[in-house]
Structure 1
Amino acid sequence: MSQPLVAILDDEPQIRQILAEALGDAGFRTMTFGRASEFEAALKQCVPDVCLVDLGLPDRDGLLLVHRLALDSGAAIIIISGRAQVQDRVMGLELGADDYIIKPFEPAEIVARVRARLRKGRQVAERTTQTARFEGWTALFDSYTLVSDMGEQISFSNAEGQVLRLFLERPRRLISRPQMQESLGGVAGESFDRAMDVRISRLRTKLGEDPKNPSLIKTIYGAGYIFLGDVHWE
């Protein structure tokens, strides 16, 4: 079986070289790009398992590229950026990134984050059931789509799908932040908590929830979350 393929998109040649060498030494295949146009052209030929994306690109808005990747590719997306502001991290995660790493970074951490994303992806792929019905909605995990009983279709990202599936697999059970971190991977801390807040907020919006009084995904302050719908897997 071939080794996972990691795409590296960064306009700094030294960064590309550091990442490619660290990942290559860890047994990954890599392909590197300095411009978004080159990266997008390559995606027409093959889809990587993980995309490492810098936001400061010379020919494209990095955040818009991340959003498109999240909706279209199904690959895990890790942003690696010098933008350390909270709003940048929130926006990146909100638009569908699975993780956000701030430069400067340790190459070993990048390798560990990539491995964590791939482990989670394998766990999801091993599940044979890809359709769940709940409270007027159908979640199609093979196509990253929510379908309402009225026929409305709403796309969700890979990252949002991981959170949604966690809730649907454990309905009416409290899920704590540590349990979410253990199930979804990632590094516990402020960044992980913020990522979960963003993804849950987006899921509530897509499900038509009242943000002040959601009926499906309830916040139990100081404890975690609980999904209150009835779920049927097919």
Structure 2
Amino acid sequence: MTEPSARILVVDDDPGIREVLCDYLGQHGYVAVGAASAGDMDRELATRPVDLIVLDLMMPGEDGLSVVRRLGGTPPVVMLSAMGEDTDRIVGLELGADDYLAKPCNPRELLARVRAVLRRPREDEAPVSAALDFDGWRLDLLRRELRRPDGQAVTLSAGEFGLLRAFAERPGRILSRDQLLEAARGADADVFDRAMDVQISRLRKKLDDGSGRELIATVRGEGYRFDARVKKGMVR
């Protein structure tokens, strides 16, 4: 399944790569446009919003990591890098990228990653009772928003939201990495174990309210468990 209305911006200084990826994504029902630099990206975003950005790490001028940092998780980002080092992957995810691929990448694999990131509930399909409450926190499934016990909003990337929803919908259960990937991002999202650990580490930091209580417990050799009572709440 594709999302025909989804608009994707491919940001890469290599015109050949931009053309190949835009053509391939276009063949699978997406509206794909290209940008040669961060500046071109900004001009495109000022004209019309996009649903996802495919972003090259190494570009002249502002690089991909700087772009991810200032975007702050909106829109979601799939990063590409010719370097393919674990350090680059982890830093990119820590800064807010939703997924990461080494170049040269198979367009079919990129398509699978894009589908996984975009696979999320639509607002018109969300139930009226669309919030999950736990330990004073509220995860609003309709607005894709997390609020702390003091009412302050916490920004979540698409990957972090998917993970937290997967945990909160299965409290007390031990979930393996594969189960979390399937629940949060789709069965075709091939994300490395270390990348999953980074995502969970980021999520734990955002769930830290200073009480010392850790809501996501590591179960050695098995996976992770969400240690909180969860109730369904009403969105007002």
TM-score range, shorter chain: 0.7 to 0.9
2:22 alignment counterpart: 20
Partner of 2:178: 178
Tell me, yes or no, if the aligned pair for 1:70 and 1:158 is still in contact at 8 Å: no
SS at match of 2:120: helix
Displacement of 1:2 after TM fit?
A: 4.8
Is the partner of 2:47 in helix, strand or coil?
Answer: coil
Q: 1:43 corresponds to which letter in structure 2?
A: L
Say whether the 8 Å CA contact 1:70–1:77 is kept in structure 2: no
Q: Please provide the CA RMSD for this pair.
A: 2.5
1:89 aligns with 2:89: yes
Task: Determine the C-alpha separation between the residues in 2 that align with 1:48 and 1:217.
Answer: 32
Question: Cα distance 1:186–1:64, how it changes in 2: closer, same or farther (>3 A)?
Answer: farther
CA distance in 1, matches of 2:130, 2:162: 12
TM-score, scaled to structure 1: 0.85
- The structure 1 residue matched to 2:31, chosen from 26, 29, 32, is 29
In 2 relative to 1, CA 126–143 (structure 1 residues): closer, same or farther, beyond 3 Å? closer
Letter in 1 for 2:171: P
Query: Are the counterparts in 2 of residues 9 and 16 from structure 1 also a CA contact under 8 Å?
Result: yes
Q: Structure 1 residues 140, 83: CA separation in 2 closer, same or farther (over 3 Å shift)?
A: farther
Distance 1:69 1:232, change over 3 A: same
Report the counterpart of residue 223 of structure 2 in structure 1. 224
Count matched residues: 228
Q: How far apart are residue 149 of structure 1 and its match?
A: 2.4
Superimposed CA distance per residue, residues 139-176 of structure 1 (whole angstroms, 9 cap, x where no aligned partner): 33455543322344332212111111111111111212
Amino acid corresponding to residue 174 of structure 2 in structure 1 = L
SS for the counterpart of 1:43 is: helix
**Contiguous gaps of at least 5 residues in structure 1:** none
Where structure 2 has 5 or more consecutive residues not aligned to the other structure, the ranges are: none
The 1-side partners of 2:187 and 2:141 are apart by: 21
- The CA distance in 2 between the partners of 1:139 and 1:13, in whole Å, is 41
Matched residue, 1:110: 110
Residues 1:165 and 2:169 are matched in the alignment: no
User: 1:171-221, CA deviations, whole angstroms, 9 ceiling, x for partnerless residues?
Assistant: 1112122211222226576x43122211111111122279xx963111111
SS in 2 for 1:44: helix
Percent identity, please: 38
TM-score, normalised with respect to structure 2: 0.85
Query: What is the one-letter code of the residue matched to 2:216?
Result: I
Do 1:82 and 1:102's aligned partners in 2 also have CA atoms closer than 8 Å? Answer: yes
